[in-house]
Amino acid sequence: MKTHIVIAAAAMALQACAQGSAQPGTLTPAVTSSGQASQPRSDTAQRVKSLAQRVKTELVHLPGGTFEMGDWGNEQGVPYDGEENSRPVHTVTLDAFSVMAYKVSYEDFDLFTDATGAQRINQDPRDAKDRQPRKPAGVNWFGAKAYCGWLRDITGLPFDLLTEAQWEYAARSGGKKLLFATDNGMIDKDRNFPWDIEDRRTPDIGVFPPNPAGIYGMLDLNASEWVNDWYDPDYYKHSPALNPKGPDSGKPAQPKHPEFGPAKVLRGGATSQPAFGGFVFSRGATEPREVRSARRSKIPGYSGWASGQFRCGVQASNPVR
pLDDT tens digits for range 74-87? 999 899 998 999 99
Per-residue confidence band for 157, with pLDDT thresholds at 50, 70 and 90: very high
What pLDDT is stored for residue 299 in this prediction? 65
How open is the CA angle 237-167-2, to the nearest 5 degrees?
A: 85
What pLDDT is stored for residue 298 in this prediction? 62
**Higher pLDDT pick, 119 / 260:** 119
Mean pLDDT (the chain, rounded): 86
CA 198, CA 306: separation in Å to the nearest integer? 16
pLDDT in tens, 84-111: 999 999 999 999 999 999 999 999 999 9
Among 58-62, 145-149, 200-204, 315-319, where is mean pLDDT lowest? 200-204
pLDDT at 168 over 90: yes
Q: CB burial class (10 A; 0-12, 13-18, 19+) of residue 198? A: exposed
Per-residue confidence band for 213, with pLDDT thresholds at 50, 70 and 90: very high
What pLDDT is stored for residue 185 in this prediction? 97
Give how far Cα 95 sits from Cα of 31, 91, 160, Å.
40, 14, 15
Give how far Cα 2 sits from Cα of 6, 120, 177, 288, Å.
6, 19, 37, 12
Give how far Cα 94 sits from Cα of 46, 161, 168, 174, 243, Å.
36, 15, 11, 10, 5
What pLDDT is stored for residue 22 in this prediction? 30
Best CA proximity match to 290, nearest among 272, 302, 273, 277: 302
Q: Tell me the mean pLDDT in the region 157-185.
A: 98
Per-residue confidence band for 4, with pLDDT thresholds at 50, 70 and 90: very low
pLDDT at 290 over 70: no
Domain extents for the chain?
A: 2-314
Q: Tell me the mean pLDDT in the region 122-137.
A: 93
pLDDT at 236 over 70: yes
Measure the CA dihedral 176/177/182/187, to 10°.
-170
**Higher pLDDT pick, 35 / 205:** 205
Q: Tell me the mean pLDDT in the region 267-282.
A: 88
CA 104, CA 92: separation in Å to the nearest integer? 27
Contacts of 156 (CB under 8 A, 6+ apart): none
The answer to whether 169 touches 67, Cβ cutoff 8 Å, is yes
What pLDDT is stored for residue 276 in this prediction? 87
pLDDT at 200 over 60: yes
The one-letter amino acid code at 274 reads P
pLDDT at 6 over 50: no
pLDDT in tens, 27-72: 333 434 333 434 446 689 999 999 999 999 999 999 999 999 999 9
**Higher pLDDT pick, 20 / 149:** 149
* CB burial string 308-321: b at 16+ within 10 A, e below: bbbbbbbbeeeeee
How open is the CA angle 261-265-268, to the nearest 5 degrees?
A: 140
pLDDT at 306 over 90: no
What pLDDT is stored for residue 47 in this prediction? 96
pLDDT in tens, 11-26: 333 333 333 333 222 2
Do you find a cis peptide bond into 125, omega within 30 degrees of 0? no
Best CA proximity match to 99, nearest among 216, 206, 237: 216
Share of the chain above pLDDT 70, in %: 82
The answer to whether 127 touches 307, Cβ cutoff 8 Å, is no
The answer to whether 253 touches 263, Cβ cutoff 8 Å, is yes
Determine how β-strand 159-161 pairs with β-strand 308-309: unpaired
Architecture of domain 2-314: Alpha-Beta Complex (3.90)
What pLDDT is stored for residue 111 in this prediction? 98
